[in-house]
A = this chain, B = another copy of it.
Amino acid sequence: MSRAGRRSGDSGTRAAILDSARRQFAEHGYDGATIRAIASGAGVDPALVHHFYGTKERLFAAAMQLPVIPSEVISAALADTSRRPEVTLGTHMVASALALWESEEVRGPFLGLLRSAMTSEQATAMLREFITEAILAPVAAVTNDTDPGSAPFRASLIASQVLGLALTRYLLGLGPIASAGRDELVAAIGPNIDRYLTGDLN
């Protein structure tokens, strides 16, 4: 796509950066794409990319039209739990995921990303790397710290349940899990997430 044409000023520059980011993420994956290469592809200075988007995660979220920044949602959930100790972290994570997905604005891009990861090797690598860095790492940081070695495993078990929920509820529309109310799902699934976070897994 030409970087000239109708675009002008900030919005044209932002659009050129997002175009370049999508190309770089698709070609080199989440880990391999660099702010420097994305800036170069858009014909701008790397400092401008940092100025507009801050981190690579925020740039990825903007390029993929994710309306939320996963690690920020997780941090917010953690802060909320520490204020209300009667809510377990697992319960809160399920409630947050469902609240986000019930918004069409979030669900659409999220399911689009998941769908493309199912069918394209490149998209798979990109999503895998993104989930590992932006979601598993912050989750791992709050899991059972008596055994820090188990944190990445615990985080990936949580991903298996949370992504499995999205798969069966929204993509497959599987009977009762698709029609269940949010509170019912939070009560049913939350404690299983708590076990993955801090329970005995052996």
Contact A156 B128 (CB under 8 A): no
Contacts of A191 in B (CB 8 A): 195, 199
One digit per residue, 1 when the CB lies within 8 angstroms of any chain B CB and 0 when it does not, for chain A 159-189 equals 1111111011101111111101000100111
Q: Within the oligomer, what is the number of copies of this chain?
A: 2
Q: Is residue A127 within 8 Å, beta carbon to beta carbon, of the partner chain? A: yes
Say yes or no: is A152 at the interface (Cβ < 8 Å to chain B): yes
Given A124-B172, A171-B118, do A187 and B201 touch, yes or no (CB 8 Å)?
Answer: yes
State the majority secondary structure of interface residues on A.
helix
Given A152-B175, A164-B163, A176-B153, residue A114 in contact with residue B124 (CB < 8 A)? no
Number of interface residues of A (CB under 8 A): 46
Of A161, A167, A174, most buried by chain B (CB within 10 Å of CB) is A174
* Residue A132 interfacial (CB < 8 Å): yes
Q: Are the C-beta atoms of B176 and A128 separated by less than 8 Å?
A: no
Contact of A188 among B119, B153, B159, B164 (CB under 8 A): B153
Q: Give the complex CA separation of A115 and B117 in angstroms.
A: 10
Q: Are B168 and A165 in contact (CB under 8 A)?
A: no
Residue A157 is within 8 A (CB to CB) of chain B in the complex: yes
Q: Assuming A119-B115, A119-B118, is B152 touching A163 (CB within 8 A)? A: no
A196 contact set on B, CB distance < 8 A: 188, 192
**Does A131 sit at the interface, judged by CB under 8 A?**
yes
Given contacts A115-B118, A153-B180, 10 further A-B contacts (CB under 8 A): A115-B119, A119-B119, A155-B176, A156-B175, A156-B176, A159-B174, A161-B161, A188-B201, A192-B192, A192-B196
